[in-house]
Structure 1
């Protein structure tokens, strides 16, 4: 039976519709909040747990915005990346963000049209597709790209 790794992320926005990105302390790239799904944990639960651990925020994983199949890239196996809608954060919520110093060095809100300047290409495609899916229904991607009907 095939096994794949799974991770879940969340799109959190400010009132200007900018997307919250985080800078992990253990790598040189920006990401959306989230992380790996643990054994016997749902992607939605993983997302909520990671946001609480990394940012100190209690949010709900709303609508599923996209599922992205990521091909294997040794040493990593292929995987499924889930992205949920976390809604718009209030100024009070933003003020209470507390980064886990072991995991995150900083955060910033980025305009959607600038995602490709900040994120690695595959993640920029995934996040842009997720943002475009808000209020429209989720999409299926492969390596960050929409697939044609098969």
Structure 2
């Protein structure tokens, strides 16, 4: 008679996991989206759902938030974020969403009720629109893309 073993992993700690996309235009401006539910801008992306890989989440979020079927590229950053008031600790990943030309950008359709809109942002605008943690993460993602490697961050600060 086979014994039933309990899956010990069900009691292990859980972390939030989210995936985002670094998308730029030919001038290296970053594509940001403006959520309807909060005052801060973000990059396209969101929570990884149950039984979904971070990579698949990035593809899904590109489709849901921009109405585009993007060819998502390589991993750029993994960022562990400590807990803070109102949020548990989490792991955030950013994939290379590529560069969109003007023709592709014209096809962007944001979901009403979820997003107010989107905009290209140069570095000063990105720093003004994003919370400091996300601005640091995006800066490192741009460096990782240029360097051809992936970076590990903690709270948006490069560790390795």
> TM-score per shorter chain, which class?
over 0.9
Question: What is aligned with 1:140?
Answer: 152
Report the TM-score, using the length of structure 2 for normalisation.
0.88
User: In structure 1, how many angstroms separate the alpha carbons of the residues matched to 2:123 and 2:76?
Assistant: 15
Question: What is aligned with 2:36?
Answer: 25
Q: Deviations over 1:70-124 (max 9, x none)?
A: 1112432110000010111122110010010021101110113442111100000
Match of 1:13 among 24, 32, 55: 24
User: In structure 1, how many angstroms separate the alpha carbons of the residues matched to 2:36 and 2:91?
Assistant: 23
User: In structure 2, how many angstroms separate the alpha carbons of the residues matched to 1:135 and 1:62?
Assistant: 13
Question: What is aligned with 2:134?
Answer: 123
Unaligned 5+ segments in structure 2 are: 1-11
Question: What is aligned with 1:105?
Answer: 116
Question: What is aligned with 1:34?
Answer: 45
CA contact (8 A) 1:23 1:104 kept: yes
User: In structure 2, how many angstroms separate the alpha carbons of the residues matched to 1:128 and 1:135?
Assistant: 11
Question: What is aligned with 1:62?
Answer: 73
SS in 1 for 2:42: coil
Report the TM-score, using the length of structure 1 for normalisation.
0.94
CA contact (8 A) 1:115 1:128 kept: no
CA contact (8 A) 1:10 1:86 kept: yes
User: In structure 2, how many angstroms separate the alpha carbons of the residues matched to 1:41 and 1:84?
Assistant: 15
User: In structure 2, how many angstroms separate the alpha carbons of the residues matched to 1:46 and 1:73?
Assistant: 24
Q: Deviations over 1:52-79 (max 9, x none)?
A: 0111011022111100001112432110
User: In structure 2, how many angstroms separate the alpha carbons of the residues matched to 1:89 and 1:69?
Assistant: 28
